[in-house]
Every structure is written in C-alpha cells, then in structure tokens.
Amino acid sequence: MIQDIISSENLTEFQTGILSKIQNKERLNIDEGIELFKFDLGVLGILASYLNNLKNQNKVYFNKNFHIEPTNICIYDCTFCSYHRKINQEGSWEYSISDILEKVEPYRNSEVTEIHIVGGVHPNRDIHYYGEMMQKIKEILPNIHIKAFTAVELDFMIKKAKLDLKEGLIKLKEYGLDSIPGGGAEIFEPEIRKKVCHEKSTAKQWLGIHEAAHGVGIPSNATMLYGHLENHRHRIEHLDKLRELQDKTDGFNTFIPLKFKMANNPLSYLGEVNTLEDLKMFAISRIFLDNFDHIKAYWPMLGKDVSQISLSFGVDDIDGTIDDSTKIYSMAGAKDQKPTMTTKELIELIKTAGKKPVERDTVYNVVKEH
C-alpha cells in the first residue's frame, strides 16, 4: 500500500488526501495536480512507479525507427525554436522527394518498423506533395508505419490544398499516413502560447486536429513543451486538456514531455530547468494522465543517462534507434549531437535499469520481448 511505504509525517492533510486518491485509483483534479510539484522527488518516484507498474508491469518499450526531416524552412518564427530557417537563409534545407527516397532506400529489407516525418511548415508544399512522398516511400518500404506531420503542419497543408479538415485527413490516410506525432502542442495556455509561438495554430486548433484524426482512425501522440515561460499551473492545465480529449476519443498512443533547450533561440536567456525538474515532470505526467497507457522519454532530447533514470519515475518508453536522423534537438544544444542507438544498446540501457525491454511497433503491438 502506498501509505505504508510513504511516511505521512511531513505531508499536509491535502497531500495525504492526494495519496489516498492515487491509492484508490481516483482521478486528481487540477489543484491536486499542481500540488504534486511540492512533493519530494522520491515520493513522486514511488507514486509514478506504482501507477506505471499497474499499467505496464516492468516493461519498457522501444522501436526500430528513423526520422526524415524534409525541410527546416518554416513560415513561422517561434521564439523557442532553434531549427527553423527562411528560404535561402544560411542553414536551411529542403529535400526533394528524390532526396528523401535516397535516405529511405538503405532501410529496404531492414527490420525498421517506423519512419517519423516532421519538419518546418514550408510555404510552397501542400498535402499532395507530401502525399506523393508517402506513396513513394511505401513503394520502397511497403510495411513501414508512417508517423508524420505535426498538427501545425497539417493545418497549413490541408488549408493550402483547399480541403476541410476531415477531407484532408482522409486524403492523407489514403496517401499512406498511419499516425501523427505530438509536436506543435507546445503549451496550451493562450498568453504564454502567444509569447513562444504566436503565429502557429492555436491550442484549440491543435486539439481539434487530433480529435478529427482520431475520428477517421488515425491515432496520434501528445506532447508538451515545458521549462520556458510557463508555470506549474499551465503545465497541469495542459495535461488536463489532453486527458479530456483522451476520455473522448481514446486516440492518443503516448504522452511525451519535451524539455525546452536553450541553444540558438530568442529564449536562451531563460536557461534550462534542471534534471530534478525533468524527473518531476515525468512522474507527475504519469500520475495525472490516468487514461494514457504510456509515458515516453525522448532520449535524444534528455540524453541517455537521464532517460535511463526516468524509467524509475513513471516512464515506460524511450523511443527508438533514431539512426542520427533528427536535427531538431541537436540544433538546440542537446547532449547527443548525433542521436543514434543500436537495438543492443537500447536493450542494455533498459536492462541495466532493472526493466524488461520490449520491442514494439508504433501502436504498441509487441514485436519481440528481450
């Protein structure tokens, strides 16, 4: 029992009540979620591990995947972003479909199960351009799961093609889209959102796009960018909106807290939150999001060491092999400048943490237990 493990001597009556609700598998409200940030990190680890074990036992999931980033040219100018460039700006790239197929070809006949495709919101590319790209990828890798395009990218490309949202999503599914990543959520609180990504799709639009995707049979991930201008209430309110949508659609595969990285962007003056705050965020996400089966630590962002530690704070997924195919976090100053891990390295990282490695596909079907 939780309260047999955790001493209540230093807890307030309110905090003791929170423990009781967790023990009884009752949903926490927003104020109770905010209060979790006042708990000792060790207590949060016990609570998150307890709940994670109920859902996932001792399993930690990973997959064999690689990333394609078609372009970093973007119409938006988000203050937290170190990645975006304008057309012809130094450091910009825009791969042709032929360029992308050259990157895909080495994976022919491999065991990779997922390709993750995100990039900037390019002003000249619409749904049909990316549709052709997906079709040609699947000619090379017919069984690959394509997880592609943030809600922000989808919003632009569907409008550019003069389709309504549902029509656009159905068309993309016909082209080969299998699921959607969670990017573009950033933080939902309107005033903070204006300061970090004032031009891009609103929180309401992000949630609406994911709801519509779930409605046509396209599952998705969910994210939150933390550690910048937001406070603890904003974080919990963000989680609450995700929880509400999951109640409605059950379409989210996993939640990924994404840490703000400070290098090469206008918010660099803020610095970065420390590892203690990272681990609290993972644990609280596990505790608060009672209707999400999985919490993912994205290791290229956190680094391998912290990702391994997070497995004791409610995390049950550390993403995949990546194959040095993403620049989004390396350009923002992530520790792993060339993010790649072999299957053997992932398995060893998980086993050393005392967990059972499970290779999965994108929607958490088991490929192989190790």
Q: Does the residue 26 lie in any domain? A: no
Tell me what pLDDT residue 78 has. 61
Domain count within the chain: 1
Tell me what pLDDT residue 142 has. 97
| pLDDT for 91 beyond 90 | no
Please give the full DSSP string across 43-58, using - where no structure is assigned: HHHHHHHHHHHHHHTT
Tell me what pLDDT residue 246 has. 98
Query: 187's torsion region: left (phi>0), alpha (psi -120 to 50) or beta?
Result: beta
Tokens of 147: 């997880």
Q: Does the residue 280 lie in any domain? A: yes
Tell me what pLDDT residue 270 has. 85
Q: Which domain holds residue 231?
A: 53-369
Tell me what pLDDT residue 260 has. 87
Find where tokens 């490929």 sit.
367
Three-state secondary-structure class, residue 180: strand
Tell me what pLDDT residue 323 has. 61
pLDDT 10s digits, 141-192: 999 999 999 999 999 999 999 999 999 999 999 999 999 999 989 999 999 9
Q: Does the residue 158 lie in any domain? A: yes
Signed CA dihedral, 132, 161, 99, 118: sign only? negative
Tell me what pLDDT residue 338 has. 58
DSSP letter, residue 97: H
DSSP letter, residue 37: G
pTM: 0.92
Separation of alpha carbons 147 and 144, rounded Å = 9
Identify which has the larger pLDDT, 184 or 251.
251
Separation of alpha carbons 212 and 81, rounded Å = 27
CB atoms within 10 A of CB 76: 16
Q: Does the residue 255 lie in any domain? A: yes
CB atoms within 10 A of CB 25: 9
**Dihedral Cα 120, 126, 128, 130, nearest 10 deg:** 0
Q: Does the residue 294 lie in any domain? A: yes
Q: Does the residue 118 lie in any domain? A: yes
Which one of 300-309, 322-331, 354-363 scores highest in mean pLDDT? 354-363
Three-state secondary-structure class, residue 94: strand
Tell me what pLDDT residue 82 has. 65
Separation of alpha carbons 43 and 36, rounded Å = 10
Tokens of 142: 């017919």
Q: Does the residue 11 lie in any domain? A: no
Separation of alpha carbons 367 and 355, rounded Å = 17
pLDDT bin (cut points 50, 70, 90) of residue 218 is: very high
Signed CA dihedral, 322, 59, 25, 283: sign only? negative
CATH code, domain with 365:
3.20.20.70
| pLDDT for 12 beyond 70 | yes
Tell me what pLDDT residue 197 has. 80
| pLDDT for 27 beyond 70 | yes
Q: Does the residue 29 lie in any domain? A: no
pLDDT 10s digits, 222-231: 999 999 999 9
Contact 285, 257 (CB under 8 A): yes
Q: Average pLDDT, whole number, for the chain?
A: 90
pLDDT bin (cut points 50, 70, 90) of residue 81 is: low
